[in-house]
Amino acid sequence: MNKFLLVCVAFAVSVLFTNSASAQNTKIGYFDEQAALSLFPGIGKIDTLMNSYRIDSLQEEYKYSVGDFQRRDSIFKKDSATMPAKARELATRELLQLRYKLVNWQQYQQQMEEAKYEQLVNPYRIRIAEALAGIVAEQKYTIVLKSDAISPYVQPNLLDNLTIRVAMKLKLPLPKEIEDAWKAASGGGSMPSAPAAKPAAKPAGKG
């Protein structure tokens, strides 16, 4: 049922792109945030900063947490018998929290890395979002689709590639073949082939 629904949605999108009569009052653009991010000249430094964060922050935090747990555990084993009930309860709780953190360190590290990555990439995303919002308003787009939501059997108009429009608005460098294809499309020339429709490969992952 879900598969059938996806096929119907893809077909509907195809109709909107190819049937100008049906889509007369609907202007559809398509956009790829990762491709837009990859065009920023300074985006590559994020990988370097992430590696530094793993080594200088997370690895050091892990070493400290291990040492802290061992120290607290040693003190607890030696003094727990003479501790007041409340102090023993608090010490036990702190030890359990530290143990849980260490046992689940990979999950904790992943969460911390994701948060750090979002912090580093957010300034770029804000610039992209502002540029995209301006383009949508100026060009009167009513629908913006993710590029990967478009049916592979449909070749949309290159001029509706909002990733390229965002790059141009932000003055980001584009591959020459993309610039040439855009000039040809906007000048009334023949439409470019499908590979030219995407401006760049996706940037490296979070790690």
Decide if 179 is inside a domain.
Answer: yes
Domain hosting residue 38, numbered range: 19-189
Q: What is the pLDDT of residue 195?
A: 38
Q: What is the pLDDT of residues 152-163, one digit of tens each?
A: 777 888 999 999
Residue 191's pLDDT is: 35
- With a cut of 50, which residues of the chain have pLDDT below it? 1-18, 20-23, 188-202, 204, 207
pLDDT at 202: 47
| Residue 199 located in a structural domain | no
Give the pLDDT of residue 62: 96
Q: Return the pLDDT at 8.
A: 37
196 occurs within a structural domain: no
User: The tokens of 37 are what?
Assistant: 């991010």
**What pLDDT was estimated at residue 141?**
94
Global pTM value: 0.68
Q: Is residue 10 part of a domain?
A: no
Number of other residues whose CB lies within 10 A of the CB of residue 15: 13
Q: What is the pLDDT of residue 9?
A: 40
Q: Is 146 helix (H, G, I), strand (E, B) or coil?
A: strand
202, part of any domain: no
Q: How many domains does the chain have?
A: 1
Residue 54 inside a domain? The answer is: yes
147 closest CA partner among 34, 4, 25: 34
Inside any domain, residue 13: no
pLDDT at 206: 52
Does the residue 141 lie in any domain? yes
